[in-house]
Amino acid sequence: MSEISAISIKNLSLNLGGAPILDNISLEIASGEFIGVLGTNGAGKTTLFRAILGLIPPASGEIRVLGAPVTRGNADIGYLPQARNLNPQLRLSAREFLKSAWRGQHWGLPLYGREAEAAIERILGLSQAQELANRPISELSGGERQRLLIAQSLLGNPKILLLDEPLISLDPARQQATIHLVRQIGLEMKLTILFSAHELNPLLGSLDRVLYLGRGQAALGAVAEVITAPVLSKLYGTDIEVITVNNRIFVMASGAELGLEAHLHEHDHDHGHHHD
């Protein structure tokens, strides 16, 4: 280990509203890795991201980002929150949306200079979103909105990207396009990427390692090491079968596919979830 880990987690426990989410996990993510973060709804993917961003203090243990302790507002981390929280009625241009994040935490007037314009042109180019810049957010499709959020996560030249469910509500073709785009940007900018998803299969060809969360535990490793019956049975707390068909992997519990079940479950949750 000559290089410092991009993210180093030691004996980390996280609670949310008193409930334990992650229990004593340890892992090291090397610089430049593309990590698929998997697990059912509530397994702690978003919570882990928010802890890395410094928004949730660890109950115990430690997280280090690029060798330094976690700090809120760390400019080295780019973050893509879940797209469903983006106000779909927003009658503002995509460019205004991106600009608002340019040193948006500072007090004062919303005057963004040439430096901001240049930075925004650059991230629009990187995420192939130039043609979206002058369109209102309310008129963008799901895939276009996702590209805009990817562009946003690149603002400020981060070294690490935390992408929270960028594939949600996209059709398979758009999912592949999104993964391909993220992979390409990651290589170009030498980024470490944590990419959370409900389903493993779309990511199979792109990820370096997989981080699987379940029942407070975490397993990090190559797909062949982690997506196995013994490891997943432990994470789910039930007997799991792993079946590979035509290079696609199906995770089954009592004969039903788990990935799909998690997805349906997720939609149920959406009904009660309103964000203003």
Partner 1 sequence: MITGIIMTEYGFLYTALAGSTIVALVGAMIGYFLVLRNQTFAGHALSHIGFAGATGAVLVGLSPFWGLIAFSGIAGVLMGALGEKLAGRDIAIGMILSLSLGLGLLFLHFYTAFATQLTALLFGNVLGIDPAMLMPLALIATFTLAALALLSRPLIFASLQPELAEARGVSLRGISMLFLGLSGLAIALCAQIVGMLLVFTLLIGPAAAAQRLTIRIVPGLVLSVIFALAMCWGGIGLAVLTDWPTSFCITALSALIYGFSLFKN
CA quadruple 174, 139, 169, 196: dihedral positive or negative? positive
Distance between CA atoms of residues 186 and 191, nearest Å: 5
| Site membership for partner 1, residue 105 (CB under 8 A) | yes
Per-residue x/- track, 166-205, partner 1 (CB under 8 A)? ----------------------------------------
Residue (2 or 105) nearer to partner 1, CB: 105
Compute the 3-state secondary structure of the chain and give helix, strand, coil in percent, each to the nearest 5. Answer: 35, 25, 40
Quickly tell me which residue has 């999912």 as its tokens.
Answer: 175
- 153 Cβ contact list (under 8 Å, min separation 6): 78, 79, 80, 161, 162, 163
Coil, strand or helix: which one is 67? coil
The stretch near partner 1 (CB under 8 A) out of 86-94, 209-217, 219-227, 230-238 is 86-94
Instruction: Report in angstroms how near the CB of residue 71 gets to partner 1 at its nearest.
Output: 9
| Site membership for partner 1, residue 17 (CB under 8 A) | no
| Site membership for partner 1, residue 132 (CB under 8 A) | no
| Site membership for partner 1, residue 79 (CB under 8 A) | yes
Distance between CA atoms of residues 188 and 199, nearest Å: 25
Chain contacts with partner 1 (rule: CB under 8 A): 50, 53-55, 72-73, 77, 79, 81, 85, 87, 89-93, 96-97, 100-101, 103-110, 134-136, 152, 274-276
